[in-house]
Structure 1
């Protein structure tokens, strides 16, 4: 029994590490989701969970990103949008940055 538990813990740790792979300074990851912060600069981009997300435009409540080659518009308070096998939802928009939640 202890060997099975140890093996299960190792597998869980490996899966957790796999989820965190691809996270950078602009990405904060938990077990099942990441928070992405993008500056509202031209060409600001980040890789999260193996998918590239690039800032395109924003207004007070809406952000357009290019994700995995597709343009997607996210609206604050609306349901997540699925792109590239991931769920994207808009958390906040400020004058200098946007924050997006990404989950598998």
Structure 2
């Protein structure tokens, strides 16, 4: 194997790691779409739905009428549909609630996203 090829192969894991930092989110019972400063999380209802995003864990606790209860970075909050709350340095906005899922946008406070 030539030296330039070895260098390219040696750099590949670091390049993939850098990309993983932006998309560094995981979830169970949810789908995530993230940028550097915010994530839109679609939680499935009726399951234990959670996502690890922006360095914190976000969980869907429950839905009561037009209010959604979430746990973000260990703090439990209730947010109305189309409303927004702050918790642990994050803005949490509930975008929609259906019979099947809950869509929430979570962004870093002060981080335009």
Q: What's the TM-score once normalised by structure 1's chain length?
A: 0.71
Q: How does 1:1-104 map to 2 (within 5 A)?
A: 18-22=21-25, 26-78=31-83, 80-104=84-108
Q: 2:106 and 2:26 mapped to 1: Cα distance?
A: 11
Q: 2:70 and 2:44 mapped to 1: Cα distance?
A: 12
Q: Give the Å deviation of 1:86.
A: 1.4
Q: Deviations over 1:61-95 (max 9, x none)?
A: 210011222111011122x2222221111000001
The structure whose Rg is larger is 2
| Aligned residue pair count | 90
Q: 2:90 and 2:20 mapped to 1: Cα distance?
A: 18
Q: Unaligned stretches of 5+ in structure 1?
A: 1-14
| RMSD of Structure 2 on Structure 1 (CA) | 2.3
Q: 1:31 and 1:69 mapped to 2: Cα distance?
A: 21
Q: Mean Cα displacement is larger for which, 35-44 or 89-98?
A: 35-44
Distance 1:85-1:18 versus aligned 2 partners, 3 A rule: farther
Q: What's the TM-score once normalised by structure 2's chain length?
A: 0.66
Q: Deviations over 1:1-30 (max 9, x none)?
A: xxxxxxxxxxxxxx9863432255711013
